[in-house]
Structures are given as C-alpha cells and as structure tokens.
Chains A and B, each alone.
Chain A
Amino acid sequence: MEQLQIRTMAEFAATGEVPEVLFWVGCAGSFDDRAKKITKAFVRILNAAKVKFAILGQEETCTGDPARRAGNEFLFQMQALQNVTVLNGYGVKRIVTACPHCFNTLKNEYPALGGVYEVMHHTQFINALLKEGRIKVEGGDFKGKRITFHDPCYLGRGNNEYEAPREVLLKLDAALVELKRSKQNGLCCGAGGAQMFKEAEPGKREVNVERSEEALAATPNVIAAGCPFCNTMLTDGVKHFNKEGEVVVLDVAELVANAADL
C-alpha cells in the first residue's frame, strides 16, 4: 500500500504554504480503532484526488460536543475557545470532517465564539470530488450489492443533508435500499447527546439493537454509515443478531476507497 501523505497545519505554516482544506480528524477518528480505518480511507481518497489538505495533529482537541450535550457548558466553551484560537491562528477557512458531531459543532456553534468557517461533512466533500472529476469510482466490489444508508441525526435531521451520501453511494453501481425510517424520519443509532459515553438508561432494549434490526430487515449486503459513532453502534447491533458474517457496516469513505481500489 502506498504511504499516506499527511501533513500538519504546523508543517504547512513552516513552509508558508496554504492547504486547500483542513481535515478535522476528530477524537473517534484519532483514537477509536474502528474509526481510524475510516480516517485512513478518507485520507486515501484525499491523496488520490491530490487534495492539498492539512490536519491539526496534536493541536486538535475535542470540539466539546459531548460536554455541551451532557450539560457542561463551561467545558464545551473551554474546548471551543481554545480550538477557535488555534484555527483562527492558522487562518483556517475551510474544514472537512468525517464526524457529523464535529461537523455540527464547528459549522453551527463555533461562529458564536468567533470561529467562522466553511465546514463540510466528508460525504459532501467526496461528492464534490466525484462531481469535479477529481476522483473516479466504479462499483468494483460493490457492483450490484444491496447497500442501505443510515442517516446520522446530526447530518440529516440536524443539518438537512440527505442527498450527498446517497449520491456518492449511487456512484458504486449498487442497489441503494432505503430503511423504513430514513431521511427526516431516520431513527437514531443511540449514541447522540453524549449517550456514547455512558450506559443507556433502563429500558426494554438498546436503541442500536432496534435500529440494527430495522437495517437487517432491509436485507442489505452493506450498511453504510457516515458517522463513527453510528458505525460502532450498528456494528454492535449486527453482532447482536449474529449477522456479522453476512452484513458489513462500512463508512461511505471506506466504500469509495475500496471501490476505487485506493
């Protein structure tokens, strides 16, 4: 495999170069073993499209999203103000991220704290690269396969982006099957609002089991996700039904990177 080309913002600044876009990796993308694969798949796409991108590296810290959702506004603003200082210090204009929670916070909540950027979710960015012809993808392994897309709440309902991930998936020559509850009516995976970091409150079943059951009912070969947390929740849900041998949960970036053999 070709070595990934990754440079930090500090390295760009040292040479006086300006990157096209900052890739906000996010905590899941940096630390979670499953999500790291998504991060690398997206970097392979960026490399293939010859996108001059930078990451913040060790200067990146949590956006503060889970702290804010869990009611700790102080901690959120500590994180946010520090991140805004770093981002503005580098004169960052455009940001892309593979996490809808980072996406929502950077795009919608940082402006009130002085951080105004053009922020894209990676499915939007990949879609643009495909449309501009900077990368090409044909079905490859996924040709004719049944793929279903689980809308992340913070991308879909939260920010009204339903089409970009679907447009990308359609490029794979796969059969895109919709879940019973999709788009505006999509059912949460159970991780949002800081639930990812705590035990679920007492109930009849786990939210991710409910959602995975619905996804499996669509008899897909692949459940496509656009969020590292949804990915974890759905992967666990598929395992709950002992279907991990038949159905695989992949991020849109992984599907594209695999199909394009990047």
Chain B
Amino acid sequence: MISPAAAHRNLLLFVLPALAVYLVFAVLPLATSIVMSFFQTNGVSGDTFVGLANYVRLFTHPTISARFWNALLNNMQYFAIHLIVEVPMGLLLAALLTSGKLARSEGIYRTLLFIPATLSVVIVGFVWRLIINPLWGLVGFPLLGTESTALTTISLMSVWQYFGIPMVFLYSALLAVPNELVEAANIDGAGGWTTFWKIKFPLIAPQFGLIAILTYIWTFNGFDLVFALNGSAPGPNYSTDILGTYFYRTFFGSSGQLADLDLGAAVATIIFLTVLLVTAVYFWLIQRRLKSYSV
C-alpha cells in the first residue's frame, strides 16, 4: 500500500511526458502567438511593443473589420447549419440503427454511414464540386458561384461528411440505455414511438450538449473544406469566408500580398477567445448540471 503522497507523486510522474509534449507543442505556440499579437514584428529593426494596436486595427479599419465581421457571421451560419442538419440526421440514423429493424445488416450500415467522416476533405470537396458542377455534374444551377447559396452548399457538404460523428455518439448512448427500462415501458403499453421519446430520448439528452459544443469548436476552427474548394479569398464576394480562411489570408499573405504576421496573430487570438469563452461557459454552466441528470 503506497502512501497518498507517493501516489500523488507517481501520478505527476506519469502525466509528465504527455504534459511536456502538450506544453511544447500546444501551449507554447499559443502563448507565443498571443504575445506576438501585441507586437509589431516589422522589419529587421526588431520587435516593437504596440499594445492593443493590432486589435484596434482589426476592429476599426473599415475594410479589415468589415471582412472580419463578415467572416464571423458566416462562421455562425456555418455552425448553425451543422447543428440544425447534422444533429437531427445523426439522431434519426442512430435511432434506426438501434431499432432492431435492421437485424444483421446493422453493422454494415453503421460502417457505411461512418465512411464519409474518414475521407480527406480534399476528396470530399473535389467529389462534391464535380457532382454539382454545372458543366459535367447533376445540377445546372451554379450553387457554389451564387452568393446566396454558396455558404449553405459548402456547409451541407461538410454536414454530409461529418454526420457520422453525432450518429456514433448517439448510437452508443442509445445502446447504453438499460433494457429493463425499455421492457418496463413496453409492459406499461408504450409503443416504439412513445418509448423512444419518453424513455430513450431523455436518457441520451446530455449527449446533445456535448455534440453541440464539439460542433461549435470544429466549425469555428473550420478551414480545410472552404480552402480546398475556394482558396483563401473564398468568394463570391467573400460569401464563404470563415474565420479560418480570414486568418490564413491575413497571416500568410498571397503572391501579391504581404504576410501580416502580427495582425494574423491578433485574429488567431480572437478566434481562440471566441472558442474558449463559449466552451468554458458551456462546461461551467451546462455540462455540470447535466451530469446529475444522466444515469
């Protein structure tokens, strides 16, 4: 029997390797990037501390701020579409998979439905671009080339790719619902519909909070699909620009555009805070309360 103090020490020792990697490859770059956002690293003359100047520029320059708010609003829409379409889709498919109606083919369907989530975004973007290509594809209307439909189109491609994730979450939660409860409900005369909504659904409800917050984190750190489809100045007229592409454009520049590392660092910090604050609020306020409700 080891003493609590020794157990504590051992615990630290075991955590150390992971902690070291995390510190060096995640915390340190993040901290450096935040520090950088307070500097003007312009030229070989060295770095000058400029306080909040980069942030002031980000939020007050007519063009820079307009593009930023546009990207933020687009990102919210991108998130909302994911939430509204992906979650009900995941729930429906998870419910069908666990309904027992599929019998032995359940495993096959589960795998098939999850496959898109394992594909590379470049492939997803390429395939969908061909499918909806007005020249060679199935849809005559230029979905990606029209301002009002472009963002929704890209969001739905992303939904198609990732609906497997909420599906798997809800699927495993549904499997964890104790059979006795379902049987008891059946004996009480509840049909499949009632059992699902009155027994199963309340038990898996806590999953929705988790799925929502994960979707939030993913979509606000989103970048790859938009970049793969539309590059770093996603049009038309920046209608598919999200925070990730906005950051990329600012930080990396382009052939005719200087890379603005400092402003880019400020954008990255704002994205980080946007994700951090909402996630923190969620965990403090909602997730803790939900825990007491789950079985």
The answer to whether A binds B is no
Q: Which residues on B are within 8 Å of A, measured CB to CB?
A: none
